[in-house]
Structure 1
Amino acid sequence: MVFNSWHAFFNMGGYAGYVWTSFGLSLLMLVVLLLSIINNKKVLLTNIHRQQARIQRRESLSNTEEGRHVTTS
């Protein structure tokens, strides 16, 4: 499709409303998808760090409890 002017390009042969709306909605969905991925990554990393900290606390707690049960004769 060849356009003689910018006005003709933006008019899209009379279908501008459909064309630009579809481009706009597609771009909006891509942005929403990108933001969702970024948010999910942050949540996942936060949960991983919390779980690792919980495991380390349990290990250090069990190590200190084992030390208390050891008796010297």
Structure 2
Amino acid sequence: MHFDSMSAFLAMGGYAGYVWSAFGITALALIALVIGYHRTHKKRLEAVKKQMAREKRIKDAQALENTL
């Protein structure tokens, strides 16, 4: 499609409400997915770090127990 001016482009031939709302909804969905991924990733990293620290404490306690 060829548009004569920027306002004609933004009007999208009378379908601007549908076109721009579809772009907006898609952008919001993608942003929500990225934010959700980062939050989940951060929580999983913290859980792994806690698990590793717990396993280290258990291993250290077992090693100390073997020396007594």
Q: TM-score, normalised by structure 1?
A: 0.90
Deviations 1:33-59 (A, max 9, x none): 011111111011101100000000000
Counterparts of 1:1-73 in structure 2, within 5 Å, are 1-68=1-68
Q: CA offset at residue 66 of structure 1?
A: 1.2
Q: TM-score, normalised by structure 2?
A: 0.96
Query: CA RMSD for the aligned pairs?
Result: 0.6
1:4 partner SS:
coil
Aligned residues: 68
Which sections of structure 2, spanning at least 5 residues, go unmatched?
Answer: none
User: Which consecutive segments of 4 or more residues in structure 1 shift more than 4 A?
Assistant: none
Larger Rg: 1
Q: CA offset at residue 65 of structure 1?
A: 1.1
